[in-house]
Every structure is written in structure tokens, then in C-alpha cells.
Amino acid sequence: MLTTPLRFTRVSTQKLGTALQQRAFTLSAVSQKSFPALVQEIKANNKNIHHISPKELHAIPSTQAPHIIDVRERHEIDATGTIPGAIALPRGILERDVGKFIKQADARDVVVYCAGGFRSILAAESLVRLGYGVADAEANNAGNKETPKVWSLNEGMDGWIKSGFEVEKKKN
């Protein structure tokens, strides 16, 4: 038996919206996907992320060279080196620090890579969410035909090394 009366409280629309968003986010995590399944889902659904093979990347003329970002951890870079000219920005700080190296308005493409090509998909998705590689309607109206693209290197550094391409060892 209820001994105290029920009280109803008014909740602002903004607080209710925030609570619903938090609940939706919590429920989305319930679907439990494996890491490879998440990567495949992003590959299939995000049309702003492009894919490039080590051979295709190596064939790009230096006059059209994209920005290349290595999202591996320091110990991985120390062990195998990097693609020549790559910017070392580990996955954990990519979103925070990418603007220090590459401006969103930069006309060059961006290629991200990791060891095997999985983390780079997540990194590419983050860059797209930050506005890299997304067509700007204003720029398109101004006559800019080609929007810079965000690319993920298929097979990552492992594929680059297997292809026999040059590796740069970073000096500490």
C-alpha cells in the first residue's frame, strides 16, 4: 500500500531531449557488434570514406601527394617505421590534434593508415565527422570541382611493407 502521495515534476524539453539522447546512445551499445563487424558497417555505410591500396598510394605523383596520417601507437611506429612523410598522430589523439597539422580547407586529400587497415577506418570516420573530405556546398558553387577526399589505406602498414615500398624510420 502506498503511504506517500505521488508527485509529478515538470521537466524542461531540453532536459528531456538530453535524457532521450543519452538513453538512445545507451541502447545502441546493447546491439553488441564485434570490432570487425563495426568496421565493415562503417565501410559499407559511409560514402565519404574512400579506400586505397598501397600500390595506388605509391603511384600518386609527388606533385599531388596527399597528407598521410599514421594512427598507430608510438611502439608500433618505432618497431616498423612509417610511410615516408607521414604525420604520426595516434588514434587516441587524432581528433584533438589533427587541426594542428591539416586545416579543413586544405585542398589535398588525406590518407590514414594503421597496422592492418581496421583502425584507419575508424580514424577516417572521425575525420569525416570533423568535416574533412565532406563536400562544401559553398565551395562547389564557387567552381571548385573536386573536394579533397579522406582515404583509408587497405591492409595498412602491413600491406605497405608486403608490397616492398620504402619505409622511413623516425629518430627519437
Predicted local confidence at residue 94, as pLDDT? 97
Q: pLDDT tens digits, residue range 44-77?
A: 888 899 999 999 999 999 889 999 999 999 999 9
The answer to whether 39 touches 122, Cβ cutoff 8 Å, is yes
Judged against a pLDDT cut of 80, whether residue 172 lies above it is answered with: no
Please give the Cα distance from 63 to 137 (Å, whole number).
26
What CATH class has 34-162?
A: alpha beta
Judged against a pLDDT cut of 70, whether residue 33 lies above it is answered with: yes
Structural domain boundaries in the chain: 34-162
Q: pLDDT tens digits, residue range 75-93?
A: 999 999 999 999 999 999 9
Predicted local confidence at residue 4, as pLDDT? 63
Cell 599514421, residue located: 70
